[in-house]
Amino acid sequence: MDIPRSTYYYKPRADEAKRKQDADIRGRLEELALRFPRYEYRRITAQLQREGFWVNHKRVLRLMRESDLLCRTKRRFVRTTNSDHPYRVYPNVYGDTIIIGVDQGEDITYICLLHDFIYLAVILDAYSRRVVGWALSRHIDAALRATITERTPPRRCIHHSDRGVQYAADDYIEILEEYGFTISMSRKGNPYDNAQAESFMKMLKVEEVYVSEYRTFAEVKERIGEFIELIYNQERLHSALGYGSPVEFEQEIKSAQSHASISAPTCPA
C-alpha cells in the first residue's frame, strides 16, 4: 500500500492518554513553581516522583520549557568581605573536622538583607543541613547573641566564618569567647572552607530574597521565618540528602539509631 510503517503502528488512544498525563503533570508543575519559584528541573522531578508521578527528568524538562517555567537567575556579585584589617585572623579548624552525626558540626553565618543592613544570623547543622537557630537584627552582635540564646550550642562548638572585619572585630570575638566557641576562619579567598553555609546563603538569596520586596522589618522577619522553618527545613529537597528535607533526614537518622539500640544484644546479669 506504500504507506510508512509508523502509520501502521500509530495508536491515537495512547497519544491522547499521554497528552492527558502531560496536562496533569503540567498542572502540578505550575503549583510547584509558585511554591518553589527557583526549583530547577531535577529537583522538580524528584518532588514529582515522591508524589507518585511516573516521570523522568527529560520529560519534566520538556514540559517546563514548554510552559516557560525554567528559572533563569542572573548572578549577582556583591563584595561583602573586607579582610584588610588589623585584627587577628584565626586558623581554619573546621576544614579538618569530620562530621559524623547530627549536631556535631554547626556554622554561624550572616547576611545583609536590606539596604539598611539588617543582619540574619544562622546556625546551620553541617550534617543534616537543617537551620537550627536564626535571628534578625540591625546590629550584627545582637543577631549573634539572639541566635546563641535561642539554640544554646555546646561549648567548643566550631564557629566558622570568612576573614571579614565584622567577624574579627574585638566585640564580636568577645561574644564567641564568652560562650566558649572554637573560632575558625576560612583561608583567604576560599569559600569552599565554609561550603554548607555559603550554599545555604546563596539559596536563601536566590529563592527568597531576590524574589521579594520587603518594606518593613516585621515583614522581613515573617517572610524569612516562614521560608526557613516551613519551606527550607521541612519541604525543600536537598540533593546532598538523597532529595529529602533536613527534617526528614534527621528523623531517618533518629529512627535508625532507635532501631539499632533496640536490636543490640544485651549483656546477661
Q: Which of 169, 159, 168, 173 shows the shortest CA–CA distance to 188?
A: 168
pLDDT tens column, 238-267: 888 888 899 999 888 888 877 776 665 554
Residue 18: pLDDT band by 50, 70, 90 thresholds?
confident
CA 204 distance to own-chain centroid? 7
Find which of 7-21, 41-55, 89-103, 131-145 is predicted with most confidence, using mean pLDDT. Answer: 41-55
Residue 73: pLDDT band by 50, 70, 90 thresholds?
low
* Residue 75 pLDDT > 60: no
* Residue 104 pLDDT > 50: no
CA 78 distance to own-chain centroid? 20
On whether the CB atoms of residues 231 and 224 are closer than 8 A, the answer is no
Predicted TM-score (pTM) above 0.85: no
Q: Mean pLDDT of all residues in the chain? A: 77
* Residue 38 pLDDT > 80: no
**Mean pLDDT of all residues in 114-121:** 72
* CATH number of this structure's domain 94-242: 3.30.420.10
pLDDT at residue 267, as a whole number: 46
CA distances from 221 to 197, 204, 231 (A): 20, 14, 15
Instruction: Give 225's contacts (C-beta < 8 A, 6+ positions apart).
Output: 134
Can you say whether the dihedral through the CA atoms of 39, 45, 48, 50 is positive or negative? negative
Domain boundaries, the chain: 5-66, 94-242
| C-alpha cell recorded at residue 29 | 508543575
Burial of residue 199, with CB atoms counted within 10 A of its CB: 0-12 exposed, 13-18 middle, 19 or more buried: middle
Grid cell 562548638 in the structure block, residue: 157
* Residue 268 pLDDT > 60: no
| C-alpha cell recorded at residue 76 | 549577582
**Mean pLDDT of all residues in 48-60:** 88
